Structure formats: C-alpha cells, structure tokens
Amino acid sequence: MPSFDIVSKIEHQNLDNAINVARKEIQNRYDFHGSKTEIELDKKTLNIHIVTENDMRMKAIQDVLIARMMKQHLDPSCLDFGKELYASGNMVKKDIKVKEGIDKETAKKIVKDIKASGLKVQASIMDDIIRVTSKKIDDLQSVIQLCRQGSYGLPLQYINMKS
C-alpha cells in the first residue's frame, strides 16, 4: 500500500553555514563596526544565542539571519523568536529556538485537515512524524498539495514515498 511521511527537519550543516556567513557579514558591516555583537549556535539544543548593544542592531541581525537562511534553502519559519532578555549593562540578549519535528498540536491539526478533505487516506501520528497511507498514489499527491496550501507555522517535508 503506498505511503509517505510528513516531517519537519532542518539540515544542520546548512544552518551552521547560514550562521557562520551571517556572523561574517555582521563583522564586516559598517554600522556594526566596533560593536560587541556575538552570534553563536548551540548544536546540541539547536539554539541561536545573540548578544548585541541595542534593539536596532538586534533587528538587523535577525534580518541578516533570515536572509542567509533563505540563501541556504532553509525555511525561516523554523525559527522561534522569543522575547529579548536584557543582559548585564546595556547589552540585549536573545535566544532563538530552531524548531525541529512536528509537535502534537500541529500534528493533530494536520491530521484533522487531511481527514476533512474527504480523500480516501489514513493519517497516523508517530512521535514527530505523520504517516499517510492510501490505495492510490494520486490521493497521496493530493494530500501533499493540501499540506502545502495550509499554514502550520513550520516547514514540512514529504519523505519516504513508497508505492
């Protein structure tokens, strides 16, 4: 029986490359000349730590980061921008969480949308993966189109298509 999996993953090497290029661009920009700006990626917890002097520079760093992710073919919707935490002195600190995997609420919403479409498919949630099975490959392709049209707040990939 044909099936495929819906996942939300990010290429760790491409993310690391995007962070490194953004860091170099920030160091070379004139408006950041002489600033104490730091951008670090914690690879284990997938957190991006940013420390800079003011909110204007924080916004500029976020814009550069999003642009670099787009150039590395990464979807910036996987970034969870939290609120700023003020560090010692006049420094602004921000931790950006990189979302990976489909959480339970989003998975339930996706499965609900698939079932509401009226297609003859079965969708089941397995941890952070949604497996969709059907008798026809055309129905599976319709599910992929349905998921691409929906907005779930995170990038979705469709893998392991088996017939």
Instruction: Report the percent of the chain where pLDDT is more than 90.
Output: 63
pTM (predicted TM-score): 0.82
Thinking of the domain 3-8+101-162, which architecture would CATH place it in?
2-Layer Sandwich (3.30)
Q: Is the pLDDT reported for residue 64 higher than 90?
A: yes
Q: How confident is the model at residue 31 (pLDDT cuts 50, 70, 90)?
A: confident
The reply to whether domains 3-8+101-162 and 12-98 share a CATH topology is yes
Q: Which long-range contacts (CB under 8 A, 24 or more apart) does 70-78 make?
A: 71/18, 71/21, 72/11, 72/14, 72/15, 72/17, 72/18, 72/21, 73/14, 74/10, 74/11, 74/14, 74/15, 74/18, 75/10, 75/154, 75/155, 77/153, 77/154, 77/155, 78/8, 78/10, 78/154, 78/155
- Under the banding of pLDDT at 50, 70 and 90, the label for residue 82 is confident
Instruction: Give the start-to-end residue ranges of the domains of the chain.
Output: 3-8+101-162, 12-98
CATH of the structural domain 12-98, one choice from 1.10.1740.10, 3.30.70.990, 3.40.30.10, 3.40.50.300? 3.30.70.990
